[in-house]
Amino acid sequence: MNADLLITNIGQLVTCTSRDRPKRGMEMQEVDIIPSAAVAIAGDKIVALGRMDEIESAYFASNTIDVRGRVICPGFVDPHTHIVFAGDRLNEFELKIRGAEYLEILASGGGIISTVLNTRSASAEELFELGLKRLDKMMTCGTTTAEIKTGYGLETDTELKMLQVIALLDVTHPIDIVPTFLAAHTIPPEFKGKSNKYVELICEEMLPMAWNWYKQSHFVGLGRPVFADVFLERNAFDMEQSRRILETAGSLGFRYKAHVDQFTNLGGSSLGIEAGATSIDHLDAISDQEILLLAKSGTIGVVIPPENFNAGKTQFAPARRLIDSGCAVALSTDYNPGSAPCPSMPLAIAIACRYQKLLPSEALNAATINAAFSIGLGETHGSIEVGKQADLLILDCEDYRQIAYEFGGNLVTTVIKSGREI
């Protein structure tokens, strides 16, 4: 049979197989390794994989890559990023080194708001160029699929401008992108003290316009969902406001996720789970009772160790307990200018293993197949399986656990995205 690309002599083909649902609990230790393997790719899809001798005798391809015993794993899926923004937060970085707190900076009109002001005044072209550079950095570290949020506009025009930039990034850059509408990122300065008015604007104007935008976007034809998101936190949105936003989004047709329990437990995890969110993200302050609720639900818990690392914290979301309780856990970078200026999924994996006590196998599933399910793409992305998108990484090692073990460098030597060597 004919294929376009044959990858042979793979020492460990780490597939992270799971077709129908995310891995949870003990299943997260299963990465499904095929030794001495090969993969055949036709177009942008995987058409066969298995023992090298079998695949080589069954497939002929115009292009062959001999990986000389190295490891292949699925491309990383980063399910939580905020990479469309202008400016930086270097001053805030220094303030935090001197002891200032993230929520304190936000309350004093800095933090997210300072990025909002820069993003409002940037053109779509500028935002697009900046986004492209950040996607390149992510891809260098092995990310082949990512979610990108709006949330630095906080006014209708700029939020829609961000959606357009996200769509243009998707059609331009090899990384596959899922858009998330996060007009509920924080209260914009013009609504200070009038947060309910802003919630009204989100529900009555912004969400319906964002939904109409999505329906006309190329994402629909690709079968990619759009998500809505809310930051449920002190100085951002409370329970009642968040419920209203998620319910409105759901009734329009959005799938949804929520930033919850990042600093304070305000009941956000319970709300997200009960509302049927695809994922709830951060979870540092999740309660034991909510962990049990999450384990019984279809919602995925996304943990974000680069955020804790960046804040210099020694406390992390209880990912070990989540897994031991039977939850499905995914990992992300949260790449953004304030709480986590981090493009690297391998760094997220490295921190998760050391501080959240995940095994390399669990962290890899969290960074691939479970991350794909947490953005609605688990059936097409996130694992190496016949019929799936051919997104794979050639790693410069012979044991996949090196990806968690070694840190600060980059073991990704080649990225194959949609069947093409990048």
- Residues engaged in binding ligand NIG (CB under 6 A): 82, 111-112, 115, 231, 259, 262, 307, 334, 336-339
Footprint of Fe ion on residues 303-342 (CB under 5 A)? 334
Least distance (Å) between residue 305 CB and ligand NIG = 12
The mark string for 98-117 relative to Fe ion (x by CB under 5 A, - otherwise) is --------------------
Least distance (Å) between residue 208 CB and ligand NIG = 24
Nearer Cβ to ligand NIG (186/380): 186
| Residue corresponding to tokens 């080649």 | 414
Least distance (Å) between residue 161 CB and ligand NIG = 17
The footprint of Fe ion on this chain (CB under 5 A) covers a number of residues equal to 1
Least distance (Å) between residue 115 CB and ligand NIG = 5
Q: Which does 111 bind (CB under 5 to 8 A by kind): Fe ion, ligand NIG, none?
A: ligand NIG
Nearer Cβ to ligand NIG (231/316): 231
The torsion angles phi and psi of 63, rounded to 5 degrees, stand at: -130, 130
Least distance (Å) between residue 44 CB and ligand NIG = 31
Q: Which does 61 bind (CB under 5 to 8 A by kind): Fe ion, ligand NIG, none?
A: none
Least distance (Å) between residue 233 CB and ligand NIG = 7
Q: Which does 307 bind (CB under 5 to 8 A by kind): ligand NIG, Fe ion, none?
A: ligand NIG
Nearer Cβ to ligand NIG (218/234): 234
Nearer Cβ to Fe ion (46/187): 187
Least distance (Å) between residue 92 CB and ligand NIG = 9
Q: Which does 224 bind (CB under 5 to 8 A by kind): Fe ion, ligand NIG, none?
A: none
Q: Which does 17 bind (CB under 5 to 8 A by kind): Fe ion, ligand NIG, none?
A: none
Q: Which does 338 bind (CB under 5 to 8 A by kind): ligand NIG, Fe ion, none?
A: ligand NIG
Nearer Cβ to Fe ion (18/241): 241
Q: Which residues bind Fe ion (CB under 5 A)?
A: 334
